[in-house]
Structure 1
Amino acid sequence: MTPSTEDLLAIARLYWGADQAYIFRQEPSPEDLRYEALWDEKNKEGPRWGALLRELRKELPDCKVCDYTPPLANPSFGALVYPPYERIMSRPQFIWTVAGYLSILAPVYTVHCVRHQYVGKRCLDSKVFLGPIPLELRSIAEVVAQRIEAEYGATALPLEVAQTPVPLYVNFMKPPETTLFHALFTSEPWNIP
């Protein structure tokens, strides 16, 4: 069962500040200390997340599956799945990634897509698709969702809840742009390799 929006906001407030009082201080904020302590605890689950990634590689043998859990940068474990594509160097091309995030703050996850536009090896633009998954990527997204649910018992965070504005500072995201999505998963969903 997905926690309520109010419960998720209360959880997010434990780990993200409502102001920038500590931005220029040497010492960490109380929220920072709680966040770091939680990551210390969750890092013990690294082998479990690694097992999930190995299962994804077995179930999606034509795709490249990568761990995307940058230490302390995101409040989540991340899996990136790259469907097969042929790089064309001579003209613009769209390359898709399916991203699955399991929050460390609450028992919720999300699966969304990122579309990168390339010319050769140069990325011109990145666009995040939090809403409906494009048809050609749905089977991949479903496998990622099923694995996270089966391994962790987490529930998918509904898009309307994920887009709820929160009065919190999450890394470089500031109110009024900050949403529960940023507080629970990543403040830069487009910024993936």
Structure 2
Amino acid sequence: MERWKAFLSDLQQALPGFTIGNVVTTADASLRCVAYPVTGTHLPPSNQVVVGCVSIVAPVYIIYGVEYERIGGARRHPRIDFEPLPPGMRFPADIMARKIEATFGVSALPREIAETPVPLFVEWKEPPHTTLFHALFTSEPGNLP
């Protein structure tokens, strides 16, 4: 975990207009981080976040975006965006991807492969609704702090 914590610190320095969060849980098959735009900057509104996942079961990673609706100040109804990400998410996603590759020596998992159905139960997902993404990273990509 020290290497992951050092990565998060490096990522924070590389993305000064963002708050970097650690989203590691015991239920996921990955280490996840999230980049939230700092409120009041020229960057996208805080209802758009970028998530980086490094699998702990295979030498791969994936970057995705999550867009939320704001309802009563709370984030609701997450919508997951894979490649290509919306324009406002591309800059932090590119930085995050380069840092993940340099730090962990892993390769990006293409969206087409990530969406491959797998006959596995992953947390609350079950076939035929589980994909390689769920098995290698998380069954709840929109569940973020």
TM-score, scaled to structure 1: 0.70
Q: Residue 48 in 1 paired to residue 3 in 2?
A: yes
Distance (Å, rounded) in 2 between the aligned partners of 1:62 and 1:94: 11
Q: Indicate the residue corresponding to 1:183 in structure 2.
A: 135
Q: Among 132, 137, 141, which residue is 2:93 paired with?
A: 141
Q: CA deviation at 1:120?
A: 3.3
Give unmatched runs, 5+ long, in structure 2.
none
State whether residues 100 and 106 of structure 2, in contact with CA within 8 Å, keep that contact through their aligned partners in structure 1.
Answer: yes
Count of matched residue pairs: 141
Give unmatched runs, 5+ long, in structure 1.
1-45, 87-92
Query: Secondary structure at the residue paired with 1:141?
Result: helix
Q: Residue 66 in 1 paired to residue 18 in 2?
A: no
Higher strand fraction (1 or 2): 2
TM-score, scaled to structure 2: 0.93
Map 1:2-41 → 2, pairs under 5 A = none
Q: Among 19, 28, 32, which residue is 1:78 paired with?
A: 32
Q: CA deviation at 1:94?
A: 6.8
Q: CA RMSD in A?
A: 1.3
Higher helix fraction (1 or 2): 1
Q: CA deviation at 1:150?
A: 0.1
| Over 4 Å off, 4+ runs | none
Query: Secondary structure at the residue paired with 1:172?
Result: coil
